[in-house]
Structure 1
């Protein structure tokens, strides 16, 4: 079995189209088809449902797909490791998934990674926590940044590193009446026109399971929240790291929230697999020195 045959199969499974898969692999469509047939012969099973067009994977093909991704990931890590030893620092690509609330913390890590691995590239894609976990488990991501929740904390396939305890803050324009206050109770915040982050944004409840705030607008990025705050009408509930996005002239007030105060662990997640790939190790080594493993 050749690595490139496995690469052709995984690409076809992801693209679900022979023509696109062949183009991405840099080969003709007949060459791609012949390679996959050779892979099937080597494994002794049919991997794809034959037809005039792509019609899906067989049951055996579905089982081979995650193994194929893992083998290709390991092979890529081997090449990166050997190349990095020759050139100083890794080559290849660091693939990260980042939830909107964690974007402000990302530069501390990417700057350190770039300094140590100038020949490598970094891709940071906005994702939900669920997408990040699936990406790491499926070898599509090297790591991620997100808020710690029960699903992540209980996942034995993930290693977690706490980066900070993020306090939830109330944000408002400088001329808003609440700007003069030192702290804002959640019950007062919910009386204002609020914009918050989208799915997965944690807010405390009233004891009966009812959230203490009702967002008028949800955004999938901190930049979207900032744009609404600059407009002058909207207030927001944001993580403490939001302060890094403010320009000197914004004047936006950030106030602690009480009753209750809410702090959430911001964590980096990566595969707990041993051994970890060189890229995953390089990501882990670039996490802030004060971070503690969980």
Structure 2
């Protein structure tokens, strides 16, 4: 009849065993003494051995009772730990979160988001994967990523996308360029310049968005060099291989051989976006989303 033993039997037994007094154990458990005594007797019946030696003056454990006490305490500790962990998982406080992100996001609000999330949920294992916007989207759609940070992501029926940071575009020129000393620059003045740019495969909208600005001025740039990372693009520009359009955050990694100039009469901005699967209900993802949105508005 071991299968009939319930957790309440263990709690009752442990209370009596630790107090060695039925009255004090009943007070501790907030029950009356007669039902407590009945439950202990029922437990002994199910086990087939007495757990206590009872006299009119004292209560003590039998050898079987001493052995069972250690096991009952361990069972209750394990159960409580499992309950606490389950509740933590339900609140998104433990587990693993796999997050893809674009490298240029690290020049914006993203490090602050990572820090805030780590401080709020130190028991979550945050696995970070740097890549292009297109590959981050692919990772979410195929289930290898739980969420992603994009730059000007392409539309997707599978994703819910929220802007968490916006910044203007700037022109990047070699420091030796004839217009490098200006405070601002007209986009039209770059009409005949060779461009150093990132590949279309990084993300179609991210690729086309700055180029669409040029088309408003009647030209589409001639891209003479491609590079996957902004640091490389800036170095190529500094070497005199062309100019580019970049989100304003790249100024943080610009070396003295390039200049970043605000664009006159241009209001279009680049957006850093948080993407999650539509219908996502996991608390661990919701908690990261809350942190990210909070950092964006904070």
TM-score, structure 1 as length reference: 0.58
Change beyond 3 A, Cα 1:150–1:137: closer
Secondary structure of the residue that 1:184 maps to in structure 2? Answer: coil
Q: Tell me what 1:151 maps to.
A: 155
- For structure 2, the residue ranges without an aligned partner over 5 or more in a row are 1-81
1:125 corresponds to 2:133: no
Matching residue within 226, 249, 264 for 2:270 = 264
- In the TM superposition, residue 223 of structure 1 has moved relative to its aligned partner by 2.2
Aligned pairs for 1:1-294 (under 5 A) are 82=85, 85=88, 90-105=93-108, 106-149=110-153, 151-152=155-156, 155=157, 157-199=158-200, 200=204, 201=207, 202=209, 203-204=211-212, 212-231=220-239, 233-246=241-254, 250=256, 252-258=258-264, 260-275=266-281, 277-289=282-294, 291=296
- For structure 1, the residue ranges without an aligned partner over 5 or more in a row are 1-78
Change beyond 3 A, Cα 1:175–1:168: same
- In the TM superposition, residue 85 of structure 1 has moved relative to its aligned partner by 2.4
Secondary structure of the residue that 1:172 maps to in structure 2? Answer: strand
On the 8 A contact 1:161/1:291 being kept in 2, the answer is no
Instruction: Determine which structure has more spread, i.e. the larger CA radius of gyration.
Output: 2
- In the TM superposition, residue 255 of structure 1 has moved relative to its aligned partner by 1.0
- In the TM superposition, residue 232 of structure 1 has moved relative to its aligned partner by 5.0
Distance 1:244 1:281 in 2: 31
Change beyond 3 A, Cα 1:206–1:161: closer
- In the TM superposition, residue 259 of structure 1 has moved relative to its aligned partner by 5.8
Higher helix proportion (structure 1 or 2) = 2
Deviations 1:176-198 (A, max 9, x none): 32221122222322433421222
Secondary structure of the residue that 1:97 maps to in structure 2? Answer: strand
Q: Tell me what 1:26 maps to.
A: none
* Bigger Cα displacement from structure 2, 208-217 vs 229-238: 208-217
Q: How many residues align?
A: 206
CA RMSD of aligned residues (A): 3.4
Secondary structure of the residue that 1:96 maps to in structure 2? Answer: strand
Change beyond 3 A, Cα 1:235–1:148: closer
Distance 1:150 1:194 in 2: 23
On the 8 A contact 1:166/1:265 being kept in 2, the answer is yes
Distance 1:191 1:90 in 2: 54
On the 8 A contact 1:186/1:213 being kept in 2, the answer is no
- In the TM superposition, residue 274 of structure 1 has moved relative to its aligned partner by 4.5
TM-score, structure 2 as length reference: 0.57
- In the TM superposition, residue 214 of structure 1 has moved relative to its aligned partner by 2.1
- In the TM superposition, residue 169 of structure 1 has moved relative to its aligned partner by 0.8
Change beyond 3 A, Cα 1:244–1:268: farther
Deviations 1:43-80 (A, max 9, x none): xxxxxxxxxxxxxxxxxxxxxxxxxxxxxxxxxxxx9x
